[in-house]
Each structure stands twice: as C-alpha cells, then as structure tokens.
Amino acid sequence: MQIIENSKVKEKAYIEKLENGLTVIVIPKQGIQKKYAIFGTNFGSIDNKFIAPKEQEETSLPDGVAHFLEHKMFEQENGTNSLDVLSALGVEANAYTTNDHTAYLFEATDNFYEALDELMNYVQNPYFTDENVEKEKGIIGQEINMYDDDPSWRVYMNAMKLMYKNNPINIDIAGSIESISKINKEILYKAYNTFYNLSNMAFVLCGDFEPEKILQEIKNRITKKDKQEEIKRIYPQEPEEIVEKEKTEKLDVNNPLYAIGFKDKINNTKDIVKKHIAIEIILYMLLGKSSKSYKKLYEQGDIMSQPDLDYEFSKQYAHALITGIAKNPQNVVKVLKEAIKSYKENGLCQEDFIRVKKKIYGEYITEYNDVANIARMFLADYFKGILSFDYLEQYNQVTKEYAEQILNELFTENNMVVSIVENS
C-alpha cells in the first residue's frame, strides 16, 4: 500500500491498486464521527464512442447513457431500491454523473458496514429489464424538460455550445428526449460491462478508518471478475477556436443571467495543477469580491453578489467560466474586458496577487475539514490523473510572472464567449 503524506494539512492518503485493477484510496480522519464512501467509474457523458476490450468494432451510445445507467443502478432484482434500503439504514446516499465520471456514495455515522454491503452489492450487480428501462425513460424525460426550463442550466449549456463545436460536453449530460428513446437494456448492459469493470473504477473512503482493515473489508465485498484490458475511447477532433462569440436567449427570469467562458487548449501535462491554481487567482483578481471590477459593478447596481468563478477541465476539454446574475450583463463583460486589458498592459498587482493567492490557499486547507469534500475531491482528481495533495504541493510554484503568462495565453477576445439569458 502506497502512503502519501501532506505535511501542510497533516493528512495521509493510503492508495492501493488491487489485482483486479480497482484503485482504493483511504484518507483516515481520526476522531471524526462521519464516514464517507464513494465508488466511481471513469465513465461520463462524453464517453459515447469507444472500442470495447477484445472487440474491433466501434460502439456508439445514444447521448445520456451514463446518466441513464446511474438512475437504473439502484433497482434490484428482488424488487427493492437500494436508495430506499440505504435511507432505512439512516445514511445519506446519492449518486451523480458528470462529463467524465459517475459516482455512487453515502455518508454515515451509524450502520456503516451494512451500508457498504448495499453500496458494493448494487454497483456490482445491475438489473435491467425491458419494463424497468421503459419506465425510467418517462422519469428522465421529465428531468430533461425540467432542466430545459432552468435558466441557470440553459445559460451554462449555451456557453458550452458557443465554445465547443464537436466535443460532447456541448450536449446535456442527461441527453435529449429523442436520444434516450433509443436506450434499451442491451445498450445499458454493454455500457455497464465495458465501463463498470473494476480496472476502470476507484473507491475512496474518508473517516475514522484503519487503512489495512477497511481495505480488507472492500476486498471481502468485491465480486470476482477478470481484470479488463484498456477501453479505446474515441473523441471527435475539437478545433482550438470557439464556435460563436455570443448568444442571448429569452426566458422567464427576474434578472438576466450570464456565463462568460474562455476556451482553453487541452492540457494533459504535469503542469495542469499549477495552471489551475494560476487561473483561480486570475479569476478572483478579475471579479472576486475584493477586486476593483467587482466593487465598480456592485456600486453601479449591476451585480449583487460575487459571480461563480471556475476552471473546468478533464483530459478532453478545458475552459474558465464566470457565471452570475446581473442587471446589465453587457456591462459586466465591458468591465471584465477593461480589467483584463489593464492587467495585460500593467501587469498583475503584486500586493493583490499575494492576498488572493493566500485566500485560495486557505480555501484549499479548509476543504480538508469535511469528509465529503475530501472523498469527492480525491475521486474526481484521480480520474483526471491528479492526486489532490498536488494543489498544496504546487501552490508555491505559482508566481506572479507565471500567472501573467497564463493571463496572456487564455484570457483573449478570440477565446471568449458570452451567453446571456434575459427576461422574455
């Protein structure tokens, strides 16, 4: 078992890759009552074309299969629903699908091992029938319609469509009513057997655990399966340039919503963590609560709260995103452009850079106070090829000069898109 220690947060990660290919990561938190378990597969909404191991032919899945599969995993052959079983045990259970992975999880203070039994049983034993698949189409169809009417989701998806021409990140994670109509039990079993092999999965646990003991408990609950060869994932070629600069859509909203995106080059190098930190610093310097731009927009009455500032990336896409609510989104765009231009011409203010950098470091540290944050972070980062401790280790490598280099490369007019949803 590999032990990686981070002295800054005084935490250890115990990592073991089992013979069947499953990676288990344990982050012990002594004296903490809550225990968190998350079982994930490296299969998300963008993984819809692939060549399965031992096959030569390409398989194409309808949009929304990863999400559909996540919904169906809880239904068991004996007629029970695993979410209900877990709730009856008094644990908080859930699941989610992202662009690049799917995860099943629970948080418990009591009945942890009974919940672990249920989690590992239902994730390893799917049960799909023609009837239960058809029934689910109606449920997911309602969810798709609900998201279609959600202004915050629409403004986000429009930004993805403005940035990405071919990458399936521009398609709703749940798919469309049309695409899910093509899903049947055979498609679900094909996706499950390909992507839910343990060699494509990871299990992360955080809480008051003895690493060797909990590892043995995981091994005891694993269904014996052969280790699988690599899945050949097929992704479309994505041009570096954006598709379109701007889109405004009209919906029933009190105040307009906006999403400002900056499309980045795919970066699978070891520098991705360092780059991510630099981009977070830049975003906060541009429109964080303590920035001049935020103060100006707030005093003008254009925005009432700090926008969400994110850098989203995987091995197949990357972009910076600023989202929020504004009386006049075009004024936010104007002030943002002025701030970018000023920083490019005059350089980042050293004092502000250090202050924001310290703030972000503080946020990294506080993430280690919560077992749920830790476990979800380690799982998501693992599928990106990162160890979460890397953010603390590489923090000091981010200099003002490096951040200025990233500012000049990423925050350009050519890379920039603006999505707005305003009142109809």
pLDDT tens, 247-258? 999 999 999 999
Do 186 and 268 share a structural domain?
no
Residue 209 lies in a domain: yes
Tell me if 28 sits within 8 A of 208, measured CB to CB: yes
| Predicted local distance difference test score (pLDDT) of residue 269 | 67
Do 268 and 294 share a structural domain?
yes
Domain count, the chain: 2
Residue 174 lies in a domain: yes
Do 346 and 214 share a structural domain?
no
What tokens appear for 298 in the block?
Answer: 């707030």
Residue 241 lies in a domain: no
Summarize pLDDT for 201-228 with one digit per residue, the tens.
999 999 999 999 999 999 999 987 777 8
Do 225 and 130 share a structural domain?
yes
Candidates 102, 265, 100; CA nearest to 168 is 100
CATH number at residue 106: 3.30.830.10
Do 26 and 169 share a structural domain?
yes
Domain boundary among 233, 265, 283: 233
Summarize pLDDT for 22-40 with one digit per residue, the tens.
999 999 999 999 999 999 9
In the residue annotation, 70 being an active-site residue is answered as yes
Summarize pLDDT for 329-388 with one digit per residue, the tens.
999 999 999 999 999 999 999 999 999 999 999 999 999 999 999 999 999 999 999 999
Neighbours of 205 (CB within 10 A): 27
Residue 336 lies in a domain: yes
Do 380 and 309 share a structural domain?
yes
User: Which residues constitute the domain of residue 147?
Assistant: 2-233
Residue 238 lies in a domain: no
Whether the per-residue pLDDT at 150 is higher than 70: the answer is: yes
What tokens appear for 149 in the block?
Answer: 């009417």
Domain boundary among 210, 233, 256: 233
| Predicted local distance difference test score (pLDDT) of residue 148 | 85
Summarize pLDDT for 268-283 with one digit per residue, the tens.
667 899 999 999 999 9
Beta-carbon-side half-sphere exposure of residue 234 (alpha carbons within 13 Å): 11
Residue 339 lies in a domain: yes
Catalytic residue among 11, 70, 136, 238: 70
Do 278 and 217 share a structural domain?
no
Do 154 and 110 share a structural domain?
yes
What tokens appear for 6 in the block?
Answer: 């981070």
Amino acid type, 132: N
Do 71 and 210 share a structural domain?
yes
Tell me if 228 sits within 8 A of 126, measured CB to CB: no
- CA-to-CA distance for 236 and 156, rounded, in angstroms? 21
Residue 317 lies in a domain: yes
Whether the per-residue pLDDT at 2 is higher than 80: the answer is: yes
**Average pLDDT of the segment spanning 123-150:** 92
Do 218 and 81 share a structural domain?
yes
Do 331 and 302 share a structural domain?
yes
Summarize pLDDT for 62-89 with one digit per residue, the tens.
999 999 999 999 999 988 999 999 999 9
User: Mapping DSSP to helix (H, G, I), strand (E, B) and coil, where does residue 318 land?
Assistant: strand
Domain boundary among 190, 205, 233: 233
For β-strands 23-28 and 201-207, DSSP reports them as parallel
What percent of the chain clears pLDDT 90, i.e. is strictly above it?
A: 92
Residue 219 lies in a domain: yes
Query: pTM for this structure?
Result: 0.94
